[in-house]
Structure 1
Amino acid sequence: MSSPTTTISADADLITLVNVFTVPPERQIELADALDRATRDVFLAVPGFVSANLHISLDGRRVVNYAQWNSEQQYQEAMRRPDVREHIAEAAAIAEAFDPTFARVRSVHRPDGQKA
């Protein structure tokens, strides 16, 4: 099985889930660790999952998950799985709030002028 690869390109036929979690600063790393575990232990084997990239804010108040899926339907099917729901519940219990948003890449700009 090949490793997931993040492709940020307007030409990629992928759905991007950008989920911004708000968290008390003292729990930011705990939440990032929980999301890391969920990705490693569950999502890597879920059909339709492409990649996940976790970012922690410098102020300690947010964790951002930039995840790619083959389709919104496959994401919705994954959300019905008990193992996925268990990990989502763990993250939700740590976070104060979260704001998942589906998006498609509109454009990518690079200083070297290469098209992504």
Structure 2
Amino acid sequence: MISDRPQIITIQPSSSLEDLGMPTVAINNEVTTVIIVFTVEPSQQQELVDAIATFLPTVKQQPGFISANIHKSTDGVKVANYAQWRSQADYEAFINNAEAQAKGEAVRAFGPPDMHVYEVVASETKIGIPEIKAGGYLAHFAEFRMQPENQPRMVELAKEHVVPAMGQPGLLSANFHRSLDGTRVINYGQWENAEAIEELQKQPGFGKEKPYWDGLAENEFHLYEVVLTETAD
């Protein structure tokens, strides 16, 4: 008998992003991931996206830049950049480049974002190596905030729950990242529609009542659309 259940693929260490030629999410894909999340008033959301778009030509010129992938939340209160750099040293050099940072003054006017360096620790998918691109899916940033001593257990629980979560129709990929400073775990999920994530929240361990991260972390999540993707030439 042939099962009609979608095949779930565990993404193994991949080749470099340069070889793949597109923004992707995978374990050990030889890039440094920086996730930057701004909180804004809905009336300011598009203004911030426009300010980032104006700044990106400067960012693209920096050594080690790979991609910037701008998302805006469907509820209007968040803007997120899933950025990739060749190394953490390249990213830190960009942050410490006063001339480049001066050109991003309009972005900083929206207040300090939640900004951390991450590595991918778990990736489950029904669509092969997940690509970051506009259209075709809704993105889900689940932001888990915790004390550093709780991060290892949080990662363990994320790995335990990601496979059963992938049985939910409409979930295309789930990609857990841990921040190198120990204070964050972020799931970058890709969904066919908002109704699918609402159904997952009805499952034990994923809703508001006794979620699997209870006592370890605080969780905030929003649904996003990818509105702009820039890659190195």
TM-score bracket, normalised by the shorter chain, equals 0.7 to 0.9
Contact 2:40 2:77 in 1 (8 A): yes
1:23-45 deviations in whole A, cap 9, x for unaligned? 11111101011111211x21111
Distance 1:35 1:108 in 2: 28
RMSD after superposition: 2.0
Q: How many residues align?
A: 111
Aligned partner of 2:76 in structure 1 is 60
Whole-angstrom CA distance in 1 between matches of 2:71 and 2:40: 13
Structure 1 residue 70 corresponds to structure 2 residue 86: yes
Are 1:13 and 2:30 matched, yes or no? yes
TM-score by length of 1: 0.84
TM-score (norm 2): 0.44
Q: Which deviates further from its counterpart, 84-93 or 67-76?
A: 84-93
Q: State the distance in 1 between where 2:111 and 2:88 align.
A: 25
In 2, Cα distance between the equivalents of 1:96 and 1:73?
24
The structure that has the greater radius of gyration is 2
In structure 2, distance between residues paired with 1:43 and 1:60: 25
1:89: how far off? 2.5
Distance in 2 between residues matched to 1:85 and 1:72, nearest whole Å: 17
Structure with more of its chain in strand, by fraction = 2
Offset of residue 60 of structure 1: 0.9
Query: Which residue is equivalent to 2:55?
Result: 38
Q: Secondary structure at the match of 1:105?
A: strand
Percent identical pairs in the alignment equals 30
Contact 2:55 2:103 in 1 (8 A): yes
Provide the secondary structure at the position in 1 that maps to 2:113.
strand
What are the Cα deviations for residues 75-99 of structure 1, in whole angstroms up to 9, with x where unaligned? 1111122342123322120x24410
Aligned CA distance change for structure 1 residues 115 and 38 (closer, same or farther; 3 Å): closer
Q: Given the alignment, which residue of 16, 19, 39 partners 1:22?
A: 39
Unpaired stretches in structure 1, ≥5 consecutive residues: none
Residue 7 of structure 1: how far off its partner (Å): 2.4
Instruction: Select 1:98's aligned residue among 108, 113, 118.
Output: 113
**Quick one: which of 122, 126, 142 aligns to 1:107?**
122
CA distance in 2, matches of 1:115, 1:55: 19
Which stretches of structure 1, 4 residues or more, deviate above 3 A after TM superposition? Answer: none
